[in-house]
């Protein structure tokens, strides 16, 4: 996936989860933050960030905050990017030759990010974007997510019914060591992830090649349950 009209800036403050104050070309701008998560370890005053300029005159903000540099590592924090990158990866054969790829598919009482056919079997896949990292160890989630827990339980039910079921953690940075559930922040999600894995859900993690203008899935990352 690719962004146009990217400009660097210096993060100054985040008054609420939707907007931030960023210095761009010597001028302080109010920008839209494309991630409603906490991201406290990323958005620290003085951090180098990359913003996409939007020239739509009807918008209240002229920029979207897309990426941030942390300790020399560029991290994409656009919450919409993981699904777009996952779609490109699936179409490129990341899991094999998939057919009938569809977004936002309802099965039972769950809505999954993707459905597709692989080796004649109907499959469901849920994508989770990961930006929380410490010393190369990544964790999900960065805040409690009841919705995420329900997705995992829905995938577990689908797996027990004979469908292919996958959860794909898209780590929005490169060169990390492993991914693990953030049991300290959300033990219920960690329990649901282990339950899903035991039911036959394939738990996958991929890191990404990230530039200010692009993000693409790159290499598998070990998942430590």
Q: How far apart are CA 61 and CA 72, in angstroms?
A: 28
Cα 107 from Cα 124, distance rounded (Å): 9
Assigned fold of 81-220? Trna Endonuclease; Chain: A, domain 1 (3.40.1350)
User: Which positions ≥6 away from 126 have C-beta within 8 Å?
Assistant: 112, 113, 114, 151, 152, 155, 166, 167, 168
Residues facing 118 on adjacent strands:
121
State yes or no: pLDDT of 57 exceeds 90: no
**Average confidence (pLDDT) over 169-198:** 97
Pick the CATH number of 6-75 from 1.10.10.10, 3.90.1640.30, 3.40.630.30, 2.40.50.580: 2.40.50.580
Give the contacts of 187 (CB within 8 A, at least 6 positions apart). none
Quote the pTM value.
0.95
pLDDT band at 31 (very low <50, low <70, confident <90, very high): very high
What residues does each domain of the chain span?
6-75, 81-220
Q: How many residues are present in the chain?
A: 225
- How many other CB atoms sit within 10 Å of the CB of residue 162? 10
Answer yes or no: are the C-beta atoms of 124 and 164 closer than 8 Å: yes
In this structure, the number of other CB atoms found within 10 A of the CB of residue 66 comes to 24
Structural tokens at position 124: 């469901």
CB 147 within 8 A of CB 183: no
Q: Quote the mean pLDDT of the chain.
A: 96
pLDDT of residue 190: 98
List residues bridging with 52 in a β-sheet: 6, 64
Q: What is the mean pLDDT of residues 191-195?
A: 98
Spatial distance between the Cα atoms of 67 and 65, rounded to a whole number of angstroms: 6
């Amino acid at each position: 996936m690719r962004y146009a009209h990217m400009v660097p800036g210096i993060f100054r403050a985040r008054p609420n989860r939707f907007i931030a104050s960023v210095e761009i070309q010597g001028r302080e701008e109010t920008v839209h933050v494309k991630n409603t998560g906490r991201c406290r370890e990323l958005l620290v005053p003085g951090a180098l960030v990359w913003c996409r300029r939007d020239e739509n005159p009807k918008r209240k903000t002229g920029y979207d905050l897309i990426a941030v540099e942390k300790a020399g590592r560029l991290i994409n924090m656009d919450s919409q990017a993981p699904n777009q990158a996952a779609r490109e990866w699936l179409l490129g054969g990341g899991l094999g030759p998939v057919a009938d790829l569809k977004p936002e598919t309802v099965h039972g009482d769950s809505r999954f990010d993707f459905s597709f056919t692989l080796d004649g079997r109907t499959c469901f896949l849920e994508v989770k974007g990961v930006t929380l990292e410490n010393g190369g160890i990544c964790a999900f989630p960065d805040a409690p997510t009841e919705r995420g827990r329900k997705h995992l339980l829905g995938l577990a039910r689908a797996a027990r019914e004979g469908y292919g079921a996958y959860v794909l953690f898209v780590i929005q940075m490169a060169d990390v060591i492993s991914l693990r559930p953030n049991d300290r922040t959300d033990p219920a999600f960690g329990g649901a992830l282990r339950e899903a894995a035991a039911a036959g859900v394939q738990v996958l993690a991929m890191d990404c090649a990230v530039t200010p203008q692009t993000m693409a899935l790159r290499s598998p990352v070990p998942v430590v349950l």
